[in-house]
Amino acid sequence: MKCPYCLNTKVKVVDKRDIEELGSIRRRRECLGCGKRFTTYERIELTGFSIVKKDGRRENFDRQKLIRGISRACEKRPIPRQNIEKLVAAIEGDLRNSEQKEISADEIGKLVMARLRELDKVAYIRFASVYREFTDISSFESELKDLKRDL
């Protein structure tokens, strides 16, 4: 482990906590060179699976890409980062439990929308507007009517 500030390789672990809901371990570290502290997270990385895009291309699953997409939908909303991490962990768990080696981007989008709908309605609409590629006001209004009806 290298210190992110001075790149010294001599660091010590000051505190360690299991974060069960995220399936990771949080370690608080201190650099023995510069004395600054930083946090690292350790998570088991299972063998990956491929995402089949709309155009037929295949990409390896990228957890960070999923976090970025959901975070963008949640911008300026009162949603703690930890809730986004939990949501991503739940989606990733659903995908791994499916035991499929290839998963369509459409299936992932549906999982994200279902979870976002429960978490925050505004974030859900933001994500849906990109995922469903709203082209006009009427498609947007239709989605809002569906959302209102379900409330």
Distance separating alpha carbons of residues 39 and 31, to the nearest angstrom = 11
What pLDDT is attached to residue 79? 95
pLDDT tens-digit profile of 2-53? 999 999 999 999 999 988 766 789 999 999 999 999 999 887 765 578 899 9
Q: Specify the range with the lowest mean pLDDT, choosing from 64-73, 99-108, 129-138.
A: 129-138
pLDDT at 108 over 90: yes
**For 5, which DSSP code?**
T
What pLDDT is attached to residue 78? 95
Give the mean pLDDT of the chain: 89
Element spanning 118, H or E? helix 105-119
What pLDDT is attached to residue 137? 83
